[in-house]
Amino acid sequence: MKISIDSTKPITEHYLLDLSENKIDFKLDENFNLDEGWYELHLHYPGQKTTIKDVKINDESIVETLWAGHYVDGEGNKHQPAAAMWDEGGVMKVWIHTNLGVLLDRIFTEIDGEDLGENLGKKYQFTVDRPCSLKNPFPESIKSYFAHGDGPHWWKKDTDYTPYKILDIDTPPVEEILEEMDRISVREIKGVFKGVMEIKTNSPTKSDLPFLDVDWEKVPRMKELLVDKVGYKNILSINLQTLYPHKNLMLHRDDHYKREKYPIIRGCKKFYWPLTGDLANNYFKLGKAGMLPAKNRPFLINTLEHTHTAVNDSDEPRSVLIVYGDLPGEILGPGDQRDDK
Model confidence pLDDT, tens digit, residues 68-99: 999 999 999 999 999 999 999 999 999 999 99
**Cα→Cα distances 100→3, 120, 217, 291, Å:** 11, 21, 59, 26
Q: Residue 331 has what pLDDT? A: 59
Which residues pair with residue 96 across a beta bridge? 39
Map out the domains of the chain with their CATH numbers. Answer: 3-121 (no CATH), 164-326 (2.60.120.330)
Work out whether strand 299-301 and strand 50-57 pair parallel, antiparallel, or are unpaired: unpaired
DSSP per position, 248-282: BPPSB----TTSTTHHHH-SS-EEEEEEES-GGGE
36-61 pLDDT, tens digit each: 999 999 999 999 999 999 999 999 99
Q: Return the DSSP state at 212.
A: B
170-181 pLDDT, tens digit each: 999 999 999 999
For residue 192, pLDDT beyond 80? yes
Percent of the chain with pLDDT over 70: 96
For residue 329, pLDDT beyond 90? no
CA distance linking residue 23 with residue 254, whole number of Å: 38
Rounded to an integer, the average pLDDT of 118-133 is 97
Cβ proximity of 277 and 317 under 8 Å: yes
For residue 340, pLDDT beyond 60? no
For residue 26, pLDDT beyond 50? yes
Q: E strand or H helix at 320, and its extent?
A: strand 318-326
**Cα→Cα distances 96→3, 46, 107, 175, Å:** 10, 21, 10, 45
The b-or-e profile of 135-144 (16+ CB within 10 A means b, else e) is eeebeeebbe
Percent of the chain with pLDDT over 90: 91
CA distance linking residue 291 with residue 134, whole number of Å: 13
Rounded to an integer, the average pLDDT of 16-23 is 98
Mean pLDDT of the chain: 94
Peptide bond into 173 cis (omega under 30): no
Per residue, the 3-state secondary structure of 80-139, as one string, reads CCCCEECCCCCEEEEEEECCHHHHHHHHHHHCCHHHECECHHHCEEEEEECCCCCCCCCC
For residue 23, pLDDT beyond 90? yes
Phi and psi torsions of 228, nearest 5°: -75, -40
Cβ proximity of 232 and 214 under 8 Å: no
pTM: 0.93
Sequence-distant (6+) residues with CB within 8 A of 124 are 110, 111, 115, 154, 155, 156, 157
Q: Residue 194 has what pLDDT? A: 86
127-167 pLDDT, tens digit each: 999 999 999 999 999 999 999 999 999 999 999 999 999 99
CA distance linking residue 290 with residue 28, whole number of Å: 31
Cβ proximity of 50 and 84 under 8 Å: yes
Q: Residue 258 has what pLDDT? A: 87
Rounded to an integer, the average pLDDT of 256-274 is 93
The pLDDT confidence band at residue 21, using thresholds 50, 70 and 90, is very high
Closest CA to 294 of 120, 168, 208, 189: 168
The pLDDT confidence band at residue 206, using thresholds 50, 70 and 90, is confident
